[in-house]
Amino acid sequence: MTAIGRAVRRLRESPALQGTGLILPGLLWMVVFLIVPLILIVVLSFGWRGEYGPVDWGTTPTEFLSRLSFSNYARLIDPLYMGVLGTSLRMAGLTTAICLVVGYPVAYFLARSSHRWRSLLLFLLLVPFWTNFLIRIYAWMLLLRTEGLVNRGLVTLGLIPEPLQIMYTPTAVMIAMVYEFLPFMVLPLYTSLEKLDPALLEAASDLYARSARTFLRVTLPLSLPGVIAGTILVFIPTMGMFVVPDLMGGARTALVGNLVQRQFLAARDWPFGAAASMVLMALTLAATVLYTRVSGFGEELVV
Amino acid sequence: MNAGRGRGLAVYTVLFYIYLYLPILILVAFSFNSQRLNLAWEGFTLHWYDVLLADAKVGAATRNTLTVALFSTLIATAIGTLAALALHRYEFGLRRVSETALYIPIVIPEIVMGIGLLSLYATLKISLGLTTITLSHIAFSIPFVALVVRARLHGFDRSVEEAAMDLGANELVTFVRVTLPLILPGVLAGAMLALTLSLDDFIITFFTAGPGSTTLPLLVYGMVKTHITPEINALSTIWVLTVFVLLFIFQALQRRTPSAA
C-alpha cells in the first residue's frame, strides 16, 4: 500500500483526524490574524516609542526584551487619561442604559404583535441596522448643526431665542451613539421576548399578580438572556468607539478609542496606544465576563 | 394585554419608528435639493446624482469595496463552513482552543483588532492595501459564518449521508451531492452575513488600508470630515436603497425556503 493510501485510510478511520483537518484552515487564520496580533499588542504595550518610527525594536531582540517596562501603563495613571477612561465608561454605560430603557417597550410590542405586523416592523428595524453607521452619523450631523433643522425648528417654535451649540458637545455624541446602537439592543431583546410563552403571563394574572408584578417576576427574568446579549452588543462597541466623538464631539469629548486611534495614526506612539488599548480591552472583558456569569448566552447573538 | 396599555405601547412604537426613520428620510430628501448648503428646501434637482456618478473617487472606491467583499466572502464562507462542520460533528484535541479563537472577535472592541492587524503588517513589512484589507475582513468574518452555519446544522439528519455511503458513494460524492445541498441555506445565510460585514466595515478597514485602497465607508468618512455637500446625501440615498432592496430579497428568499433546513 502506498503512503498516500495509508494516509487516506487513517483519515477514514479517525474522526478526530477529520475534525482537526476541517478546523485547521479556520484555526490557522484566526491564529495568524487575531491571536498573533493580540500578542503583538501586549508585547508592544511594554515597549518604547522609536525616535524615527512608531516602535523602537532595538538592534537585537535581546536588547528589545531587556528594555520592556511598565512605563506606558504608568503614564496612563495621569489624571488626564484617567478622565478619558472615566468618560468612556460613563458614556458607554449611559448609552447602554438608555438603549435598554428606550428599546425594551418596542421589543415587547414587536414580540406581542400579530404575525403580519411583526414581520413588517422587524424588517423596518433591520434597514437602519444594516445601513452603514457613518451614514447614520452624518444624518445627525445635518440635523444638529447650529443652522440645522433641530435648531431652526426650536427657534421657529419660539422655544429658544437663538440656536444652541449642540454639535461638538458630549450631548451630540450621546444622541448619535444612542441612535446608532438602538437596533443592536432591540433585536436580541425581541428574540428572547418572542420565546416567552403567553400562557405564563396568563397564569400570573390568573393568580392575581398585578401587571407590574407580572413584569418584574415573569417577563423581565425570562427576557434576561436578551437583556444580557443586547447590553454586550451595545457596550463593547461603544467602549471602543472613536468615530462618533471624532466627527461630532470636537476636542472636548475624547474617549479611550480616540486616545488609541491618535497614538496609532497621528502621534505615532504605538506602545502607549497599545497600553491604552490593553486597558480598554481589560475593562470591556471584565464587564462582559461579569454579565455572562449572571447567565450564559450564545444563540441570542445570532440575529 | 390590557387594551389601554396596548394602545400606549403601539403609540410609543410608532414614535420610535418615526425617530428611527426621520433622520434618514431628511437625508434622502435633501439629496434632491438644489441648495448646496443642505439647509433649507429650494427646489428639486438630480444634480447631485450627476456629480456623484461623475466622481472618479466614488467609482474607484466602489470597485475597491466590491473586490474586497467578493474575495473575503468566498474565502471566509469556505473556511467558516468547514469550521462549523468540524465543531458540530467531531471531537478533537483542538476543539476548546478553536472555540475560544472563534469567540474572541465577537467580544473584543473592533479597534483592538484593527491596531493589532496594523502592527502585524507593519512588523512583517507588508505594505497596506487591498490585500491587507481582504485578509483582515476574512479574519473577522470566519467566526460569524461558523456561528450561522453551526446554528443551521442543528437537526441535520446524518442518516441520509450514511444511506448515500451504503449505496456506494464515497466521501467526496456524498459531501457534494448530499451534505452540501442540505446545508446550503445555512451556508448562503453565512455568506450573506460575511458579504454585509465586509461591505459595511469601517473600523478594521480604517487601520489596514493604504494609499489607493479607499473603500466606500472610508470615502464617506473622508467626505463627512472635510466638507458637507449634498453629494454625500446622494451616495447615502443609493446606499440605503440598496440595503432596503437586498434585505427585501433576502427576507423573501428566507420565507420560501422550508424552515426545516
In B, which residues are within 8 Å of A139 by CB distance? 23-24, 26-27, 236
Do residues B144 and B103 touch, judged by C-beta distance below 8 A? no
Q: Is A74 on the interface with B (CB under 8 A)?
A: no
Which residue among B90, B107, B151 places its CB closest to the CB of A299? B151
* Residue type present at position A131: T
Q: Is A239 on the interface with B (CB under 8 A)?
A: yes
> Picking from A48-57, A157-166, A200-209, which range would have the lowest pLDDT averaged per residue?
A200-209
Tell me how close the Cα of B134 comes to any Cα of chain A, in angstroms.
11
pLDDT at A303: 34
pLDDT at B4: 66
CB contact under 8 A, B90 and A260: no
Do residues A70 and A212 touch, judged by C-beta distance below 8 A? no
CB contact under 8 A, B146 and A26: yes
pLDDT at A302: 37
pLDDT exceeds cutoff 80 at A53: no
Which residue among B120, B146, B232 places its CB closest to the CB of A37? B120
pLDDT at A223: 87
C-alpha cell at A297: 448566552
Q: Which residues contact A92 (CB under 8 A, 6 or more apart)?
A: A235, A238, A239, A241
Residue to substitute from B26, B112, B219, interface A, most A β-carbons within 10 A: B112
* Residue type present at position A122: L
Please count the other Cβ atoms lying within 10 Å of the Cβ belonging to residue B78: 17
C-alpha cell at B213: 485602497
Q: CA-CA distance, B133 to B198, in Å (whole number)?
A: 9
In terms of pLDDT, which residue wins out, A78 or A196? A78
Q: What percent of chain A has pLDDT over 70?
A: 95
Q: Is A135 on the interface with B (CB under 8 A)?
A: yes
- State the sign of the Cα–Cα–Cα–Cα dihedral B22, B61, A244, A172: negative
Size of interface A-B (CB pairs under 8 A): 254
Q: What percent of chain A has pLDDT over 90?
A: 49
For A170-280, strand residue ranges (E) read: none
In A, which residues are within 8 Å of B107 by CB distance? 232, 236, 284-285, 288
Q: CA-CA distance, B200 to B215, in Å (whole number)?
A: 10
Do residues A99 and B186 touch, judged by C-beta distance below 8 A? no
DSSP string, B245-261: HHHHHHHHHHHHS-TT-
Mean pLDDT of A43-55: 85
pLDDT tens digits, A127-139: 988 899 999 999 9
Q: Is A7 on the interface with B (CB under 8 A)?
A: no
pLDDT at A295: 52
Which residue is listed with cell 478511520?
A13
pLDDT at B21: 95
Mean pLDDT of A53-75: 84
pLDDT tens digits, A71-91: 999 999 999 999 999 999 999
pTM for this model (two decimals): 0.89
pLDDT at B257: 57
What residues form DSSP beta bridges with B33? B44
CB contact under 8 A, A26 and B95: no
Mean pLDDT over the full length of chain A: 87
CB contact under 8 A, A139 and B80: no
pLDDT tens digits, A272-290: 999 999 999 998 888 777 7
Do residues A32 and B142 touch, judged by C-beta distance below 8 A? no
In A, which residues are within 8 Å of B217 by CB distance? 132, 134
In terms of pLDDT, which residue wins out, A167 or A95? A95
DSSP string, chain B: --HHHHHHHHHHHHHHHHHHHHHHHHHHHHTTBS-TTSSS---B--HHHHHHHH-HHHHHHHHHHHHHHHHHHHHHHHHHHHHHHHHHH---TTHHHHHHHHHHHHHS-HHHHHHHHHHHHHHTTPPPSHHHHHHHHHHHHHHHHHHHHHHHHTT--THHHHHHHHTT--HHHHIIIIIHHHHHHHHHHHHHHHHHHHHH--HHHHHH--TT---HHHHHHHHHHH---HHHHHHHHHHHHHHHHHHHHHHHHHHHS-TT-
pLDDT at A254: 86
What residues form DSSP beta bridges with B56? none
C-alpha cell at B219: 470615502
Q: Which residues of B130-163 are buried (b: 16+ CB within 10 A; e: fewer)?
A: bbbbbbbbbbbbbbbbbbbbbbbbeebeeeebee
CB contact under 8 A, A135 and B94: no
In A, which residues are within 8 Å of B259 by CB distance? none
What residues form DSSP beta bridges with A41? none
C-alpha cell at A189: 431583546
pLDDT at B2: 57
Tell me how close the Cα of B224 comes to any Cα of chain A, in angstroms.
7
Show the low-confidence residues of chain B (pLDDT under 70).
Answer: 1-5, 256-261
Which residue among A22, A34, A138 places its CB closest to the CB of B104? A34
Q: CA-CA distance, A122 to B138, in Å (whole number)?
A: 28
Do residues A209 and A224 touch, judged by C-beta distance below 8 A? no
Nearest Cα residue to A135 out of B19, B235, B54, B144:
B235
